Amino acid sequence: MIVGVCNETSNTTFVCLCLSGWEGTYCTTQINYCKNAAYENQGVCRFSYMNYTCECLGNSYTGRHCEIIATQTAIYKTISKSFAYVAIIAMASVAVFVIIMDIMKYGFGIDVAYQELKRIRRKIPVEKESQKSDIVRFIYVDAPPSVDETTV
């Protein structure tokens, strides 16, 4: 296969004109178009004669350079971000609530849960009394004679 034409410029030098897709001093190296191709989202560049193609992994991305996100993937990303934001806001709200309650109790002496706690503590002794168990002692009627009774 002829990939270039070499012309002698003097007795010791020559110049080769390479066909498209080939390079090098003797036109022996095929141009790697993947070397300078910019592909995204973990796409894999596949070299083909005088061109390249980008193979996108999975069905999440498409396009010449895997730059177009699939609709389903975009929806999943949006939903997961939404759930993450809601969870972060919920946790932050609980933390802020606890901090505000502590500031009110220890900083200003205001305990909003005091009355409820007092009411619960009043109920506990009543509940404990109803939960008491009786101790039962068993007396065996037909017990074998003890050691003291046999020696007498």
Rounded to an integer, what distance in angstroms lies between the CA atom of residue 2 and that of residue 16?
Answer: 12
- Quick one: pLDDT band at residue 30, thresholds 50, 70, 90? confident
Pick the CATH number of 32-69 from 2.10.25, 3.40.50, 3.30.1050, 2.30.29: 2.10.25
* Average pLDDT for the chain: 81
Is the confidence at residue 93, as pLDDT, over 90? yes
The predicted structure's pLDDT at residue 14: 87
Is the confidence at residue 127, as pLDDT, over 80? no
- 3: exposed, middle or buried (Cβ count in 10 Å: 0-12, 13-18, 19+): middle
The predicted structure's pLDDT at residue 149: 54
Question: What average pLDDT does this structure show over 118-146?
Answer: 69
The predicted structure's pLDDT at residue 10: 85
pTM of the model as a whole: 0.37
Query: E strands, the chain, where?
Result: 4-8, 14-18, 22-23, 29-30, 44-48, 51-55, 61-62, 68-69
In 3D, which of 24, 61, 26, 23 has the Cα closest to residue 40? Answer: 61
Q: What is the dihedral of CA 124, 130, 131, 137, to 10 degrees?
A: 140
What is the domain partition of the chain in residue ranges? 1-31, 32-69, 71-123
Rounded to an integer, what distance in angstroms lies between the CA atom of residue 26 and that of residue 81?
Answer: 55
Indicate left, alpha or beta for 58 from its phi (over 0: left) and psi (-120 to 50: alpha). Answer: left
Residue 50, classed as helix, strand or coil, is coil
Higher per-residue confidence, 16 vs 52: 16
Rounded to an integer, what distance in angstroms lies between the CA atom of residue 32 and that of residue 47?
Answer: 7
